[in-house]
Amino acid sequence: MRVHVVDPPAYTPAYDHALCAALAACGVDVELITSRFAYGLVPEPAGYVRRELFYRAAGGAGRARRAVRLAEHVPNMLRYRAAAREADVVHFQWLPLPGVDRHLLPRGRPLVITAHDILPRERVAGSHGAQRRLYGEFDAVIAHSQAGRARLIDDACLDPARVHVIPHGAFAHLAQLPQAPLPPELTPTTMPVVLYFGLLRPYKGLDVLLEAWNGIADAELWVVGRPRFDVSRLRASAGAGVRWVPRYVSDLELAACFRRADLVVLPYREIEQSGVLATALGFATPILASDVGGFGEVAQAGAARLVPPADAPALHAALVELLAAAGERERLAAAASALAAGAASWERVASQTAALYATLVS
């Protein structure tokens, strides 16, 4: 079976790589169709082919790159529609212009899309309706959790028969990277470390975390990731013991941060599922998260402690408790390791995904 996994904007190169490598390992002929990732190196293909068909004229990063990509998008989608004739199944990960993209999709073969975000968070007029109509063009829509499936049925108005739950795999391959130093912005410490990692965006609750951190003096909080909004006020108001790495970090730096962390915190206001959580599972790092989206299903497996979203006092109490309870952190770590090797393993994810493809083709 020939499958194209398509991520035009290269939003999730780690996910794309892990999925394609796992599919290839279970016998699927996979090609990843994507664009150049502007912020760092990406893993070399393992058993699959990577073709950077999109946005070839867009160099650098920032507004200029976004403008060039916008101009290239429709011609590139039309070019890909012709290339898609080579595939038996086309599996999209992201489509950045849903109102336009629904008219540019390949025809004559099964189409699958993974709903990494159920509906757009940066809401503009008509964006939710455009996303719903885009989903309507697909033969199958994948959610990463039962909570995501419910939202696709209730909020995106999809036929339940077309919505399938396949978990987000744990990024265990990152834990196999060689030892490397921490980012130079971080100095070694003997105190416990709480890690807040990933793109800094308002819905991820960094403000709630910094409020909850007040009064914690016997640990360090590391905030690591490229800001997508102005964090100057948050940095100015942060108390002692907060260290910042406000940039994209390499996979080696990522691995060093997760190996050193005693606890990973995800105080999100909303989410479907998270690559940061998948990374924490891969490193068997204890997780403290908001009770939103699919996080509850990770907690049901024993691999995360939950607090109500946007509740700084509850988050503070949980931080204090877990920082003082090494045994509870060890229990969470063991459950994370078991989940990463079981239901959240990429072997399991690939098997379920390949079975879905086979059903659609037959």
Per-residue confidence (pLDDT) for residue 123, from 0 to 100:
66
d(Cα 348, Cα 22) in Å, to the nearest integer?
9
Among residues 96, 285, 306, which one has the least CA distance to residue 174? 285
Q: Where in the chain is the domain with CATH 3.40.50.2000?
A: 2-169+345-361, 172-341
| pLDDT band at residue 323 using 50, 70 and 90 as cut-offs | very high
Q: What is the pLDDT of residue 62?
A: 66
pLDDT value of residue 106:
97
pLDDT at 289 > cutoff 80: yes
Contacts of 51 (CB under 8 A, 6+ apart): 31, 32, 33, 34
**Tell me, what's the pLDDT at 127?**
86
Quote the pLDDT of residue 39: 84
Average pLDDT over residues 206-214: 97
Amino acid letter for position 358: A
43 vs 276, higher pLDDT: 276
Please state which of the ranges 118-127, 188-197, 215-224 shows the lowest mean pLDDT: 118-127
Give tens-digit pLDDT for 30-89. 999 999 998 888 999 999 999 999 999 876 666 677 788 889 999 999 999 999 999 999
Give the pLDDT score at 12: 94
Asked if residues 134 and 95 have their Cβ atoms less than 8 Å apart, the reply is yes
The pLDDT of residue 57 is 83
Instruction: Give helix 13-25 / helix 346-361 axis angle, nearest 10°.
Output: 70
Cα separation, 284 vs 333, in Å, equals 5
**What is the pLDDT averaged over residues 328-332?**
98
Convert the pLDDT of each residue in 117-169 to its tens digit: 998 876 676 789 999 999 999 999 999 999 999 999 999 999 999 999 999 99
Residues 6+ apart with CB under 8 A from 257: 182, 183, 186, 195, 197, 222, 224, 249
Locate all alpha helices (DSSP H) within 194-289, ordered by sequence.
206-213, 232-237, 251-260, 275-282
Q: Is the pLDDT of residue 11 over 80?
A: yes
CATH number for 2-169+345-361 (one of 3.90.480.20, 3.40.50.2000, 3.90.1170.50, 3.40.640.10): it is: 3.40.50.2000
Answer yes or no: is pLDDT of 299 > 70: yes
What is the pLDDT at residue 60?
62
pTM score, whole prediction: 0.94
What's the whole-number mean pLDDT along residues 252-273? 97
CATH architecture of residue range(s) 172-341: 3-Layer(aba) Sandwich (3.40)
Q: In this predicted structure, what is the pLDDT of residue 126?
A: 78
Mean pLDDT of the chain: 95
The pLDDT value recorded for residue 66 is 79
